[in-house]
Amino acid sequence: MRRTAIRLADGRELIYFDERDDAVRDQPDRRDLPPPPPASQLRYDPLTDEWVALAVHRQTRTFLPAADQCPLCPSTDEWLSEIPAPDYDVAVFENRFPALSGNLVDEPTEITPFTTVRPGQGRCEVVCFTDDHHGSFAGLPPHRVRTVLDALADRTVALGRLPGVEQVFCFENRGVEIGVTLHHPHGQIYAFPFVPPRTRSLLVAARRHAERTGGRNLYADVLAAERAAGERVVAGNGHWTAYVPAAARWPFEVHLAPHRPVPDIPALNEAERDAFGPLYLDLLRRFDGLFDAPMPYIAAWHQAPVRRDRELGHLHLQLFSVKRAADKLKFLAGTESAMGAFSNDIAPEQAAARLRAV
């Protein structure tokens, strides 16, 4: 894989990850762009012990443009996009409308004695999986999935070294039902200056289990139990297993986890990286086959924090959809949105059986 980094017209970084060693990426960004916006403001919620980002500049971000005005397609003589090259394999660049960035400004230190304020320090990147505007991740060949995985590993290491970054989160949103603002196949990476609530909950449970069992890894034990039970396993190979969690929150939710406990994507070995692509593509095609239509989904990589509690983590990909039937979506109503108490309309065992049958 050939890695080439350039700067866009406003100073943001773009990195090409090419599968050809002879790829030349010297095309300049010919646009006239304003400087990047200042970093967002983080406000602490004392009632929940959580940070909330106020990124008001994102209100004007690009929203579902026409195909010939897509900012993620390669540039042409008629249209200058975020990608100056006429083609690419995988491209990663700093988000033009980031929720977190290194463009810090002076901020007040508190709103009230209970609500402190800090800059939204970090970084947000966009990951373009293919230059084909009408493609999808499920349509990628296995070697391209490997390139994407290597790019995510590269960015996890690089972003984890930035000052103040506590966790690197890689994910893909697909489908207007999920809330995507660009149709082009792409994912995102957030370098958080704090450990997000979901990870904090996972760490609390993992630490409690380790203390009770003499240091055992909770996720590894749960994965072993699911593999032994088999009822909720959808597919697997010698290095990975895809299963529906016994307490799944979403109508169709699958965890794809390596058998060897590793903290993050960079820790995967060559064999594990090669084995991931074919199984993940099979899983995505099963999702699309459930209702014979492209399935809206979120694919979220759960990685250990970069600076602490890494021994408690177990890398896994959480794939889930808000679609519960061909013509029905799961909306987060009062109990889920207000209280975080989930209710699922489809039994995990039934969801696993339906996915196996596709």
133 annotated among ligand-binding-site residues: yes
In sequence order, what are the beta bridge partners of 188?
126, 171
145: its two tokens: 């999935």
170 annotated among ligand-binding-site residues: no
CA distance 63 to 60: 8
Do the beta carbons of residue 123 and residue 101 sit within 8 Å?
yes
CA distance 93 to 74: 13
Q: What are phi and psi of 299, to 5 degrees?
A: -115, 115
Cα separations in angstroms, 231 against 48, 202, 356, 357: 37, 24, 10, 13
183 annotated among ligand-binding-site residues: no
70 annotated among ligand-binding-site residues: yes
The structure tokens 């509690």 sit at: 309
Catalytic residues: 186
Do the beta carbons of residue 316 and residue 282 sit within 8 Å?
no
The structure tokens 């055992």 sit at: 216
Q: Binding site residues, as ranges?
A: 70, 73, 133, 184
Q: Binding site residues for Zn(2+), as ranges?
A: 70, 73, 133, 184
